[in-house]
A and B are shown apart, each in its own frame.
Chain A
Amino acid sequence: GENVEQHPSTLSVQEGDSAVIKCTYSDSASNYFPWYKQELGKRPQLIIDIRSNVGEKKDQRIAVTLNKTAKHFSLHITETQPEDSAVYFCAASIDGTGGFKTIFGAGTRLFVKA
């Protein structure tokens, strides 16, 4: 089955710097790659996603890139702010005859120091 690896597990940056989180997936049939942000004690929330026919997508300070050949995708956060501090999860989804499965990475805890 699909396996998603996420690095780093912890990331600390200074306010205003950029943060990059990287993920790899194993199943070339994966066709949708969402990213979720989870603040302490809260539910995960979708922040951005990318489909397999797109190489890059940007939404204000966040962007995702996808390299299908290498099975890599990354989250880029620019001009980080203290409120960006949270756990970020990447995921890969595969469509099947009985519906899709979404497999998550283990998460990256991002600290933004003011």
Chain B
Amino acid sequence: NAGVTQTPKFQVLKTGQSMTLQCAQDMNHEYMSWYRQDPGMGLRLIHYSVGAGITDQGEVPNGYNVSRSTTEDFPLRLLSAAPSQTSVYFCASSPRRTSHYGYTFGSGTRLTVV
């Protein structure tokens, strides 16, 4: 099993550009989520999903869209990139839609918006 795979690992965008961060898991996990990590602020929840066709907002959803068409994939879209979205983005999955199982994280995407 590859676990949780994120692509790309690094990306530089210009302000106003759009892009999609990819996340795929091969563990048949029900729950998937996106976090951003900024220095001194820990990990903040952007969006999450408990199954195909079901998504919900986290703590900091503005400027991001998600969809879940399959159990395996959970892409994160930046609609119009802003410098404030410069961050490291982590995708994380968990076996069930209830807590108590912990996360498996992907390796992260370092995004810079200039």
Contact = CB atoms under 8 A, between A and B. Distances in A.
B44 A34 contact: no
**Interface size bucket, A side?**
20 to 34
Contact of A95 (B41, B56, B98): B98
Given A99-B31, A100-B97, A89 B42 contact: yes
A106 B39 CA distance: 9
Contacts of B42: 4, 6, 89, 104-107
Contacts of B58: 101
Interface stretch (B16-24, B76-84, B99-107): B99-107
B99 A31 contact: yes
A94 interface: yes
Interface of B: 31, 33, 35, 40-45, 48-50, 54, 56, 58-59, 90, 94, 97-100, 102-108
